[in-house]
Structure 1
């Protein structure tokens, strides 16, 4: 039995468990030997005595090195040290990350482990296994009302709402997910709400309100399924909207407004700059109504596809009698559905704000650069010159 002092408390307790911090912000680990590293990996979720699990850890280590070199360190004079790029055993990283006093290899080991930890969460996100079918079910809700005629989009149902354009986000790639997670305190893939998203662009602020009203009237969006903490209104002045609504004449029709009256009304409804707190990675010029909606996804039970495959194979061999004997159709019907709520992001913008998002400070490329800078500072703690050693 190891005789060890229990106090003072280690940072895993004070910073993470008691303080609510993120484990990737720890400046090191407390692993003193290869045996301890092996046990750490086992309880993390990987038995390094099983070849397939060993190979998986090695692959994630290699991908972490590639991400550091190709993304995090891009534009700097820094490179991952040769010793860390040519490891024979990834468990050495855990021991080096625990060295005291802190060495440069130890700091780089921490950087690699931060990325590896994030990659494990990306790669073990169960939703990604079913993403094509999830995307189909989410977008079907919108597609049944979206119409494009002669290059012009509109929402068509009980009434029509014209659109400037429609864009879909059909999945974040692995690099985008890594960048997003590396600057999120939670640092788990389940908290990325924009793996799937849709952007609807209207003519003006009034058009934005009409789009949202259409989606609610046709139950494409359910107010019961909106995640409150994820709603951001960077466009509409709610006080101005309430005042206009109260003063609205009886039998008001939007389509009775002249072009000048509509422009004036949209200007009145526009949120004034600085009125709302924004995402720290978004430009002050970014303007949108953005929220997260959840859709109940229904997938067949895991055994159903296998049973269907067996049924088709037997039928192709002319052995339908075995299909009936094994009661395969009945077994398929008896498989319980796999159901869960999946969150997707909805953005509604007006056309001038949409155009500004294509270039300048509000552009997506600038947004990603700000994310990259934040991820670099977090991953390379103690390595960048501006970070204290």
Structure 2
């Protein structure tokens, strides 16, 4: 039976449709890139992605991403770099690649003599390359030192030390802290691993590149820290990302119902402050049945903390604008030379004097007892990172694992 020519116009790639409109990630599709692409289609794909396959600088940068992806896979996902990795070796066909277009031809089955396994390996490397590109092309990373300074300074302003003790204080109220920590920048490898296991898989969706952690003496003090941060406008509730707020430390609903009774009791019995605080702490200690809120699937259920993500409006003053304004002033005073006239005729509308944008940062608060439990055993950060790496590995290697019937 001869197929009518017009049918080619109505053929759907159901895998791609599921990615575009079905909420599925390209990393989880059957084919990371459409199979059987021709060389011209590969070039068009790269251009659509935003890359120029004919630009030597772009080609060199892409090849650098390819080499980093190869090294990353060996270090984190294979036994040669990670004892818990897969007992596999990258095939020689990938080491022979000298241009990224060859990698795409291998992944799409266009390279002569391509084995299915080699094709799957090429897709794995492309998935990691895609993630690295998103990390590198996050425009906001240019302003990272300014971002850190403006966010952390809001907190440091209220961190004081009295003798050997640390406090969160505005001069009138003092909340004793066991520790205050800042996360200045998430390591590049950690960012890549986190993106590889996230459905969104884009750098803009990471909310914990900058963060602070408070360790308090008690759970009630943890709540007081939240209250203090809001009252002093260190965090603005309206800029909180609701889906990122998690509280596994204090059952607020239960405490809220009992708190007013404690207040009334303190008024009725003229309680001293220490007895009032003891009463609160008793209620919190008995406060069981915390709801198991939605949380990162890699976070242990034993992890106890208050955690939320806020956004800060960052203000960046462009130093170039000031310097160029001085050059323009000198050109105006000269006025006669061709260079001065050219400078005066330059359009300044595209040079921003100030750049303003919101940037997310994470706040974690835990009492000392919970913090110790969080950093031991299943709840420890090391276990969390291991679980994250395993998840990313299974996701990136999913098709190859299935193809080879591997037990993971």
Q: For the superposition of Structure 1 and Structure 2, which TM-score range results when normalised by the shorter chain?
A: 0.7 to 0.9
- The 3 A distance-change label for structure 1 pair 363 and 11 is same
CA displacement, residues 13-42 of structure 1 (integer Å, 9 cap, x when unaligned): 332112111112122222422222122112
Q: What is the aligned counterpart of 1:219 among 214, 233, 241?
A: 233
Secondary structure (helix, strand or coil) at the match of 1:80 reads: coil
3-state SS in 2 of match to 1:193: coil
Greater Rg by CA: 2
TM-score (norm 2): 0.84
In 2: Cα distance, 1:281 partner to 1:222 partner: 28
Query: What RMSD in Å do the two structures reach over aligned CA positions?
Result: 2.9
Select the residue among 157, 165, 172 that pairs with 1:152.
Answer: 165
Q: Does 1:161 align with 2:179?
A: no
Return the alpha-carbon distance in structure 1 between the equivalents of residues 37 and 56 of structure 2: 24
- Report the alpha carbon displacement of residue 336 of structure 1 after superposing the two structures with TM: 3.1
What does 1:1-389 correspond to in 2, within 5 Å?
5-28=8-31, 29-30=33-34, 31-73=36-78, 74-75=82-83, 76-99=86-109, 103-157=116-170, 158-250=172-264, 255-257=273-275, 261=279, 263-269=281-287, 272=289, 275-301=292-318, 303-304=320-321, 306-307=323-324, 336-384=353-401
For residues 70-96 of structure 1, the C-alpha deviation after alignment (integer angstroms, 9 at most, x for no partner) is 112222321211211331121122222
Q: CA deviation at 1:262?
A: 5.1
Bigger mean CA offset, 44-53 vs 271-280: 271-280
Which shifted more, 234-243 or 169-178?
A: 234-243
Secondary structure at the aligned position of 1:241 is classed as: helix
Could you list the per-position Cα deviations for residues 260-306 of structure 1 after superposition, in whole angstroms to 9, with x for gaps in the alignment? 5454233034x536633332100111011111111110001373265
Counterpart CA distance in 2 for 1:260 and 1:66 is 55
Mapped contact 1:205–1:350 kept (Cα < 8 A): yes
| Inter-partner Cα distance in structure 2 for 1:146 and 1:285 | 29
d(CA) in 2 for partners of 1:118 and 1:352? 38
* Deviation, structure 1 residue 61: 0.5
- Asked whether the equivalents of residues 297 and 342 of structure 1 are also in contact (C-alpha less than 8 Å), the reply is yes
Q: Is 95-104 or 159-168 further displaced after alignment?
A: 95-104
Aligned residues: 376
2:149 and 2:301 mapped to 1: Cα distance? 34
Relative to structure 1, the CA distance from residue 336 to residue 283 in structure 2 (aligned partners, 3 Å threshold; closer, same or farther) is same
- Give the whole-Å Cα distance in 1 for the aligned partners of 2:24 and 2:402: 24
CA distance in 2, matches of 1:163, 1:147: 10
